[in-house]
Amino acid sequence: MDHIIEMLHITKTFPGIVANDDITLQLRKGEIHALLGENGAGKSTLMSVLFGLYQPEQGKILISGNEVKIRNPNDANRYGIGMVHQHFKLVHNFTVLENIVLGVESTRNGFLEMKEARDKVMELSGRYHLKIDPDALISEITVGMQQRVEILKMLYRENQILIFDEPTAVLTPQEIIELMKIMRELVEEGKSVLFITHKLNEIKEVADRCTILRKGKKIATVSVGETSKEEMSRLMVGRTVNFNIEKPTLNVGNEVLRVDGLTVRDPRSGKNWVDHVSFSVRQGEILCVAGIDGNGQSQLVYALTGLLPLDEGKITFCQQDISHMPAKKRGALGMAHIPEDRHKHGLVLDYRLDENLILQSYDQEPFSSRGFLKFADIHRYAEHLIEQYDIRSALGGETPARSMSGGNQQKSILAREIDRNPELLIAVQPTRGLDVGAIEYIHRQLLAQRNAGKAVLLVSLELDEVMDVSDRIIVLYEGRVVADLQPDQVTIEELGLYMSGSKVGDGFEKK
Amino acid sequence: MSVIPSLLAIVAGFLLGFLILLVVNPNQALDGIGIILKGGLNKGLAGMGQVLYFATPIIMTGLAVGFAFKTGLFNIGASGQFTMGAFAAIYVGVTMKGLHPSIHWLVAVLAAMLAGAVWGFLPGLLKAYRNVNEVITSIMMNYIGMSAVNIMIRATVYNKLKNESLPVAAAANIPKWGLNQLFPYSSMNGGILIAILCVFIIYIVLEKTTFGYELKACGFNKDAGLYAGINAKRNMVYSMMISGALAGIGGGLLYLSGSGKYMKVIDIIATEGFDGISVSLLGMSHPIAILFAGIFIAYIKVGGFNLQLLNYDQEIINIITAAIIYFSAFALLFRSRIQAFLTRREQTKTDEEPEVGESQ
């Protein structure tokens, strides 16, 4: 069998950790090869080595049987390796065409020669069914089209080996199906694809073989057709994972949060970020706000938690009108918030863990009195939370928050917010970027809140999470609620249609 | 461990100073660097008294800049706040002769504090509620302060003959508290004790109080501050006011030192404000470290002053001391690199060891 790329015995270390430990990966010509592993398993490091961003300490890379040194991305490009990064590398105020030719523009006497480029791009676009509008600005097109632009960028450079880094994270179910089709067409044309992911369904769907990494080591390379999903997840995590979440049926109680006609405007464009949204959350219920990223979820949560002023509407929380109440008072009333971006809002990274654990309550007994902090009590409290919520850190409460792993940072925010015993917990993408074990833990904690008769508002982009955890789903599209659903009465595909705006629920009007 | 980068920065600064000495006058370079290194110790305790006298105002401006920096603001207007404070102190010292002698100086220092706070308040207000960059407004406030003080001196406490401020009443000078006997023949006075007191107050505010916790939280991460419900805007104004007050006290302490220093009516922005930036950088914005950084920089300045004994022009001396100070301060910006270098060296050491074991 022809191997187009062989990465043999690659070892790459960073201070304190071995990111890649003697990893061998062989990519056959014309196959889709998935690279599966949890966060921190070493997938990105391995791909960065292949792309010339890191130099490995040991091991070698062979392309079509010849050993090569890849010192930087330009080298990689020369060897025909292209990559679609998880976060697209596009210039937003350039057109699609300009982005595709950027860096390899054809010129005549120093002037751009776009005609030729346009013909080539349109030819590629037609051949691979990558529908684009060459003259649209990147800032005006959908995420799905942006991804097609990234793929065209690789094809325009005549790359033979295409790396996709978690390409489906930002797509709707329909767009994912389309991407899978494109990937298959690419290999039929003789390209080879490396597909980084931690979603087993997608691997089953499209990949030929799969290499599994765990904690920097290669565990196995398996043939996807002959390996079950359960087996792959066991190899990835190192133990059997329970995918089913047990959810006892509860009687929902009183209304905790009521939102009426909430509207938040973008002060610059005047467009409605959140457009007359109404819903309520009751005790013993997890209400999930589903939607594709950027459809007003962030602004909705900011308005609920008091980080952004609202322009119209009313928020009632525990029978009180809190529409214009400052964030601190909302917290005191029993609203807790696990923010979307733990580094931006959730933590002061330059503070220690114990200082972060009192971020919401530093000015209350017993953590301070008469304006002075009481470090002994703060420390005792921190140790208590660290033990109860199993927060792993090098120096206990004195660990700088910055030095902790993402999962443990998230656990400490969760601990802080849940320990305040809130009436309503607002959790925004609480499992983003976490590995399977941590996700399981967070889901259990959210359910524990619900089972204790509290209200939970969960904002999530992960469809599996939406379906598994929630009691009720509302879908946001362009700032409006377009559906109010029960998870057991809707399929993932249907949910995708609501999220992309192609379908509107009963009783909701189309824009 | 955290002292190492500071020390390395200082060594680097001295090397650069030596290089300049060599280029300008190679014959006396070795003597020259010796004099600078000896600094205030040249004349024993009198020299050290002089060092502490020079250190007092720049500790205060350093504290001002460092405090603001810890709370996420770059107060480049310490000069203007310093000047305003100096004028307020002199005005009270000269005109309010009716005050009881035991509190005259205290009232003058408080006036200096207030004037500095007002000068910090305006940029703070604009930053917090209109999002105007505090660097720009505080620079402009430096010029406004300088010109306003020139006008006010001429209008109120003006010594026409010398084009400077009038001497303050004897009771308006900071008490010496016996320090002049401890450090004879120097301009030593109680100002340094007030500066040290301020250092400790600021340390406690920043490290031990909920107010300091709020200020630093907003300084490190404004969004997390908002999330925690901290009134970031109000704190920003407070922070600039406190910073300005510290610089203002610095101005008061210098002109109430009883050393025969008067405020000149000239169009030059007070250098103490800019020295404060390097003091704060060298002290990595930590109050206690700023105290020592201020003394260090004053020590170099006294050393530079003594360099006049050799064949170096005053301007060259200024350049050399400035080079040492600024290089020391700015080398700290490479602190992370120095630390990365040290850890890497440690790592290669531990990496090599097992290899040695294998070969044996």
Express each pLDDT in A222-256 by its tens digit. Answer: 999 998 888 888 888 877 766 566 777 778 889 99
H-helix or E-strand spanning residue B155: helix B134-155
Q: Check whether B13 has a pLDDT greater than 60.
A: yes
Picking from A306, A359, A373, the nearest residue to B209 by CB comes out as A373
- Tokens standing for residue A236: 């990835």
How far, in Å, CA of A440 to CA of A385, rounded?
19
Sign of the C-alpha dihedral computed for residues B94, B95, B100 and B105 taken in this order: negative
Q: List residues of B whose CB lies inside 8 A of any A CB.
A: 208-211, 213-214, 216-217, 220-221, 223-230, 343-344, 347
Please report how many Cα atoms fall inside a 13 Å half-sphere around the Cα of residue B205, on the Cβ side.
18
Residue B203's contacts (CB-CB under 8 Å, 6 or more residues apart) are B287, B288
The residue among B213, B220, B286, B346 with the most chain A CBs within 10 A of its CB, best to mutate, is: B213
- At residue A73's C-alpha, the angle toward residues A72 and A75, to 5°, is 70
- The CA distance from B131 to B133, in Å, is 6
Inter-chain CB proximity A372 and B209 less than 8 Å = yes
- Token pair, residue A434, equals 């976490």
pLDDT for A71-86, tens place per residue? Answer: 988 889 889 999 888 7
The pLDDT tens digits for B40-65 are: 776 778 888 889 999 999 999 999 99
- Report the DSSP beta bridge partners of residue A14: A17
Helix, strand, or coil (residue A273): strand
Q: Does A306 touch chain B (CB under 8 A)?
A: yes
Contact B224 A329 (CB under 8 A): no
User: Per-residue pLDDT for B332 more than 70?
Assistant: no
Query: pLDDT band at residue B184, thresholds of 50, 70 and 90?
Result: confident
Residues of A in Cβ contact (< 8 Å) with B226: 307, 327, 345
Q: Which residue of B210, B230, B344 is the best one to mutate when testing the A interface, meaning the one whose CB has the most A CBs within 10 A? A: B210
Contact: A372, B210; criterion CB under 8 Å? yes
Query: Is the bond leading into B123 cis (omega within 30 degrees of zero)?
Result: no
**d(C-alpha B218, C-alpha B221), whole Å:** 5
Report the residue count for chain A: 511
Q: Which residues of B are less than 8 Å from A350 in CB distance? A: 220-221
Rounded Cα gap, residues A133 and A152, in angstroms: 12
Tell me the chain A residues in contact with residue B208 when contact means C-beta distances shorter than 8 Å: 372-373
> Please, what is the end-to-end C-alpha distance for chain A in angstroms?
55
What is the residue extent of each domain of chain B? 58-296
Minimal-distance CA residue of chain A relative to B207? A373
Question: Looking at beta carbons, which residues of chain A come within 8 Å of B221?
Answer: 344, 347-350
* Interface touch B224/A360, C-beta < 8 Å: no
Q: What is the per-residue pLDDT for A258?
A: 96
B65 closest CA partner among B287, B225, B331: B287
pLDDT value for A168? 81
Q: From the list B208, B221, B227, which residue is nearest A372 (CB)?
A: B208
Q: Which two tokens stand for residue A49?
A: 């080595």
Give the DSSP letter string of A282-325.
ETTEEEEEE--TTSSHHHHHHHHHTSS--SEEEEEETTEE-TT-
Q: How far is CA B89 from CA A170, B109, B153, in A?
A: 63, 6, 12
Task: Say yes or no for a CB contact (<8 Å) between B229 and A306.
Answer: yes
Q: Which CATH topology does A249-334+423-511 take?
A: Rossmann fold (3.40.50)
pLDDT 10s digits, A249-308: 778 889 999 999 999 998 888 889 999 999 999 999 999 999 887 889 999 999 999 999
Taking the C-alpha atoms of residue A11 and residue B73, their distance in angstroms, rounded to an integer, is 44
Closest CA of chain A from B334, distance in Å: 19
Where does the pLDDT of residue A2 fall: very low under 50, low under 70, confident under 90, or very high at 90 and above? confident
Task: Kindly state the DSSP code that residue A245 receives in the 8-state scheme.
Answer: P
Kindly state the tokens that stand for A181: 């089709």
Q: Give me the architecture of the A3-237 domain, per CATH.
A: 3-Layer(aba) Sandwich (3.40)
Is this complex scored with an ipTM above 0.90?
A: no
Residue of A341, A359, A368, A402 for testing the chain B interface, max B β-carbons within 10 Å: A359
Contact assessment for residue A264 and residue A315, using Cβ atoms and an 8 Å cutoff: no
A50-71 mean pLDDT:
90
pTM here is 0.77
pLDDT digit string, tens, across residues B213-242: 999 999 999 899 999 999 989 999 999 999
Separation between Cα atoms, residue A66 and residue B356, nearest integer Å:
34
Please give, rounded to a whole number of angstroms, the shortest distance from the CA of B190 to a CA of chain A: 29
Residue ranges, CATH 3.40.50.300, chain A: 3-237, 249-334+423-511
Distances (CA, A) of A258 to A182, A424, A455, A478, A501: 44, 11, 12, 21, 25
How many residues in total does chain B contain? 360
Is A89 in the B-facing interface, judged by CB distances under 8 Å? no
Record: contact B229-A347, CB cut-off 8 A: no
SS3 state at A109: coil
Residue B44: CB atoms within 10 Å: 12
